[in-house]
Amino acid sequence: MFLPAYSPNLNPIERLWKFFKKKVLYNQYYEKFKDFKLICASFFEEYESMN
């Protein structure tokens, strides 16, 4: 399958990162890196269970 050099609308990982940013990063502040890691891990666990 041919994909242009940069085509975020055709690249599935770009959709995942967009969803990740919306759920985890937008309007969020994590005081400790540990908290951020836990949220990231729970996001990907939840995402795996959706698929």
pLDDT of residue 50: 74
| Tokens standing for residue 1 | 């399958």
Q: Are 40 and 16 in contact (CB under 8 A)?
A: no
Q: Is the pLDDT of residue 2 over 80?
A: no
Structural domain containing residue 40: 12-23+30-50
Residue 14's alpha-carbon distances to 7, 17, 33, in angstroms, are 9, 5, 24
* pLDDT for res 4: 66
> What is the pTM assigned to this prediction?
0.67
Domain assignment present for residue 1? The answer is no
- Residue 44 domain-assigned? yes
The answer to the question of residue 6 being in a domain is no
Identify the pLDDT of residue 11. Answer: 80
Q: What is the pLDDT of residues 10-51, one digit of tens each?
A: 788 888 899 999 999 999 999 999 999 999 999 999 888 876
Residue 50 carries which side chain, given as an amino acid letter?
M
Domain count, the chain: 1
Tell me whether residue 19 is in a domain: yes
